[in-house]
């Protein structure tokens, strides 16, 4: 065999074998950006990385980030956001359309791709925003190279994108065939209940304003439309026990058209403590809720209802966050902390490393159709996340590469840490240090 470009030796590799994720100690070789060797013996290589005692995951895919470019680059941009991502062990990101202007046309989508060239440390793809104005174009827009699908906001959040009524939603569901990704909160109920936020000026009322019924009603509506139109849906950041009970019943019917995301924030933080400690730094949509809901999310995760963990990286500056509630914007940074926070949960036996790898690697590749990513297999792209499950660290704001420069997890001690990030066969992070320059490429999708 020709000399390898890079050989990763002695790692405990997370491999998809016989229909499940398994830990196998072996060597992995890379040639011209592809995985070309998975065996115990050692061919010649230009560079050898001894990974004894470490776990080699497929490159982590964060399928929900907001990098704010164009229009809000005081919060984040494509370069700073992807720099934060690779430092946290993420190799591929899917970026959301609620920028200024919103990404709703071919021209604006191509502009984002053009902005990304030579500036993204990760591989990248972008969502097209679904709106009343572009319904007739969505079937074509969702097939653009580098597009990960259509994103719809059923409840208002950061940005101007909003599709609140069922007739318009149904038209969007009937335009195209790829899985639609949705923010599920009922806008009508949000308007009815906004007085709770306005009258209180207290962020502890955020989960009262955006209560569980607000989320449940929206999820019930989108599931009905999904069945009516036979359109697959990916429901983002589920946060309530009631929704998980509904989704469990739907999944037991084996209809097979529903996939579900949860966030590290909802799995880790809980009300009222987070609002007492963090104030508006804990404010996000849908909100962090009390322990009853967090317990339900963990039960759903370990029973198979949850398909994906994404960060919903949604940065704002500290100055913006310091505005009095509810003028303060919703959202927290998260792409850099996704892997450490979830590895810490592995150390606490809340889930296994095999299960985590499914949720952040294997499932996204299937759900979105990016089959060259998310798995350690011969011929696939050589993206890897190399982690130390035993390393203990403290997450600190000083580590954050995001332009927002803060984390709701500042000061949290964790066990488990990303040490190396490899993109396209190139080591871009080694022991917390960036190496080289941004080399990320657009993601290829097989439209399902």
The torsion angle over the Cα atoms of residues 346, 348, 351 and 357, rounded to 10 degrees, is: 0
190 token code pair: 């949000």
- Output the six-digit token pair for 168: 């318009």
Backbone angles phi, psi at 143, to 5 degrees: -100, 0
What residues are paired with 94 via a beta bridge? 125
What Cα–Cα distance (Å) separates residue 268 from each residue in 257, 282, 345, 448? 28, 12, 9, 34
| CA 317 to each of CA 98, 129, 274, 323, 347: distance values in angstroms, whole numbers, following the listed order | 17, 24, 19, 11, 32
Q: First and final CA of the chain: distance in angstroms?
A: 35
Nearest to 183, CA basis, from 162, 207, 211, 168: 162
Residue with token string 């639609």: 180
Axis crossing angle, helix 187-200 with helix 212-229, rounded to the nearest 10: 170
Give residues with Cβ within 8 angstroms of 27, minimum separation 6: 7, 8, 9, 10, 11, 37, 38, 39, 40, 41, 42
Is the pTM higher than 0.95? The answer reads yes
Integer Cα distance of 49 and 6 in angstroms: 7
pLDDT per residue, tens digit, the chain (448 aa), is 689 999 999 999 999 999 999 999 999 999 999 999 999 988 899 999 999 999 999 999 999 999 999 999 999 999 999 999 999 999 999 999 999 999 999 999 999 999 999 999 999 999 999 999 999 999 999 999 999 999 999 987 555 588 999 999 999 999 999 999 999 999 999 999 999 999 999 999 999 999 999 999 999 999 999 999 999 999 999 999 999 999 999 998 877 799 999 999 999 999 999 999 999 999 999 999 999 999 999 999 999 999 999 999 999 999 999 999 999 999 999 999 999 999 999 999 999 999 999 999 999 999 999 999 999 999 999 999 999 999 999 999 999 999 999 999 999 999 999 999 999 999 999 988 999 999 999 999 997 6
pLDDT at 2: 85
Burial class (CB in 10 A: 0-12, 13-18, 19+), 2: exposed
Cα distance between residue 309 and residue 88, in whole Å: 15
Cα angle vertex 277, ends 275, 279, to 5°?
Answer: 45
**∠ Cα 29 145 105 (to 5°):** 145
Tell me: cis bond preceding 276? Omega within 30 of 0 counts: no
DSSP annotation of 436: S
pLDDT value for 252: 87
Whole-number Å distance between alpha carbons of 390 and 344: 10
With H, G, I as helix, E, B as strand and everything else as coil, classify residue 83. helix
What is the maximum alpha-carbon separation in the chain? 71
> Is the Cβ–Cβ distance between 146 and 78 less than 8 Å?
no
Q: Are 58 and 385 in contact (CB under 8 A)?
A: yes
What pLDDT shows up at residue 159?
Answer: 55
Map tokens 């009222």 to a residue: 272
pLDDT value of position 158: 54
Instruction: Please name every residue paired with 392 in a beta bridge, in sequence order, or none if there are none.
Output: 415
Report the CATH number of the 59-368 domain.
3.20.20.140
For residues 324 and 316, give the distance between their C-alpha atoms in angstroms, rounded to a whole number: 14
SS3 track for 150-198: EEEECCCCCCCCCCCCHHHHHHHHCCCCCCEEEECCCHHHHHHHHHHHH
Indicate the Cα dihedral angle 240, 62, 313, 84, nearest 10°: 150
- What is the domain partition of the chain in residue ranges? 59-368
Which segments of 258-411 are extended strands (E)? 258-262, 308-309, 384-394
Cα–Cα dist 263/258, whole Å: 17
Among 224, 220, 195, 222, smallest CA distance to 209 is for 195
- By residue count, the chain amounts to 448
CA–CA gap between residue 146 and residue 153 (Å, rounded): 21
Report the alpha-carbon distance of residue 89 to residue 414 in Å, rounded: 15
Give the C-alpha separation, 117 to 258, whole Å.
Answer: 33
CA atoms within 13 A on the CB side of 166: 12
β-strands 413-423, 384-394 pairing: antiparallel
């Amino acid at each position: 065999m020709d000399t390898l470009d890079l050989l990763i030796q002695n790692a405990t590799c997370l491999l998809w074998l016989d229909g499940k994720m398994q830990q196998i100690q072996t060597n992995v070789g890379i040639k011209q950006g592809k995985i070309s060797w998975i065996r115990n013996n050692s061919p010649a290589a230009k560079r050898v990385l001894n990974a004894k005692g470490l776990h080699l995951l497929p490159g982590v895919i964060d399928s929900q980030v907001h990098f704010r470019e164009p229009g809000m680059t005081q919060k984040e941009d494509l370069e700073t956001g992807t720099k934060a991502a690779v430092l946290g062990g993420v190799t591929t990101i899917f970026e959301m359309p609620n920028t200024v202007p919103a990404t709703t046309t071919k021209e604006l989508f191509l502009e984002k791709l053009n902005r990304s060239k030579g500036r993204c440390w990760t591989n990248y793809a972008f969502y097209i925003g679904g709106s009343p104005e572009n319904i007739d174009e969505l079937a074509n827009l969702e097939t653009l190279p580098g597009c990960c699908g259509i994103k719809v906001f059923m409840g208002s959040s950061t940005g101007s994108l909003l599709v609140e009524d069922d007739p318009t939603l149904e038209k969007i569901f009937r335009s195209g065939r790829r899985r639609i990704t949705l923010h599920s909160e009922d806008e009508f109920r949000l308007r009815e209940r906004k007085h709770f936020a306005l009258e209180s000026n207290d962020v502890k009322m955020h989960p009262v304003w955006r209560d569980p019924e607000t989320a449940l009603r929206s999820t019930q509506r989108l599931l009905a439309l999904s069945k009516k139109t036979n359109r697959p849906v990916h429901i983002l950041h589920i946060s309530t026990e009631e929704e998980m009970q509904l989704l469990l019943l739907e999944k037991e019917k084996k209809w097979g058209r529903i996939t579900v995301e949860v966030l590290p924030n909802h799995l880790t933080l809980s009300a009222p403590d987070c609002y007492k400690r963090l104030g508006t730094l804990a404010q996000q949509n849908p909100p962090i809720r009390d322990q009853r809901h967090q317990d339900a999310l963990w039960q759903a995760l370990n029973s198979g209802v949850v398909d994906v963990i994404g960060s919903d990286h949604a940065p704002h500056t500290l100055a913006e966050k310091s505005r009095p509630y509810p003028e303060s914007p919703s959202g927290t940074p998260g792409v850099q902390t996704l892997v450490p926070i979830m590895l810490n949960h592995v150390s606490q036996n809340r889930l296994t490393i095999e299960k985590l790898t499914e949720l952040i690697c294997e499932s996204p590749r299937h759900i979105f159709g990016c089959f060259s990513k998310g798995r350690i297999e011969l011929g696939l792209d050589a993206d890897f996340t190399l982690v130390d499950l035993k390393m203990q660290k403290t997450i600190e704001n000083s580590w954050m590469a995001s332009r927002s420069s803060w984390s709701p997890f500042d000061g949290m001690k964790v066990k488990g840490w990303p040490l190396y990030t490899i993109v396209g066969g190139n080591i871009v992070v080694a022991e917390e240090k960036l190496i080289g320059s941004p080399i990320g490429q657009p993601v290829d999708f097989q439209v399902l």
